[in-house]
Amino acid sequence: MLRVLAIMAALVVSLSACDTAAPSRSAGIEGNTVMYRMLDSVNELRAAAGAPAVQLDARLNAAAATHSRDMSVQNRPWHFGSDGSSPIDRVARTGYPGLMLGETISETFETELETLAAWMQQEDTRDIILDRRARNMGFGWYREPNGKLWWTLVMGS
């Protein structure tokens, strides 16, 4: 287990050195770049831990993006929506047929890879990202005019 954690730490450090321009407010090419950079980074970490790769799911992406914007509206990072919804509720609303395994969130001015590195340092969020049952991932963010970013990652089976 210590070896896996050392490998993951090395991967996170090396991935943090990559070009990590923060996402633009538009959903253009840069936004897709951020999404796929996160997917590739998550899959590298999962591979190092012996977990199968995940793929992006549009429904989970929608749930994640909606929650990121809602956290900004509420001005607090937490797992409940302004309407009282839970992560399970939000995923169910999208019509996702699988099981929602977990959600990680963050409020930061940091890039997606710096946020992923911080998530990997916490046992509870690391366990969600490396859950061996996961087959799908949703990822979304919202950038406020002042540059503050709200991040949400959802894993599903």
pLDDT digits (tens, 9 = 90+) for 2-45: 344 444 444 443 333 333 344 433 333 356 899 999 999 999 99
Q: pLDDT tier at 115 (50, 70, 90 boundaries)? A: very high
Q: What is the mean pLDDT of the chain?
A: 84
Instruction: Kindly provide the b/e burial profile for residues 27-61, where b requires at least 16 CB atoms within 10 angstroms of the residue's own CB.
Output: eeeebeebbebbbebbbbbbebbebeebeebebbb
3-state secondary structure of 139: strand
Angle between helices 2-16 and 112-121 (to 10 degrees): 160
3-state secondary structure of 35: helix
According to DSSP, the residues that pair with 105 across neighbouring strands are 152
Who has greater pLDDT, 131 or 4? 131
**DSSP state for residue 77 in the 8-state scheme:** -
Instruction: Tokens 């929602």: give the residue.
Output: 100
Answer yes or no: are the C-beta atoms of 108 and 114 closer than 8 Å: yes
**DSSP state for residue 37 in the 8-state scheme:** H
H/E element, 17: none
> Is it the case that residue 155 has pLDDT exceeding 90?
yes
75, amino acid identity:
N
Rounded to two decimals, the pTM is: 0.81
Residue 144: half-sphere exposure toward Cβ, Cα within 13 Å: 18
Answer yes or no: are the C-beta atoms of 61 and 138 closer than 8 Å: yes
Question: Which tens digits make up the pLDDT trace of 39-67?
Answer: 999 999 999 999 999 999 999 999 999 99
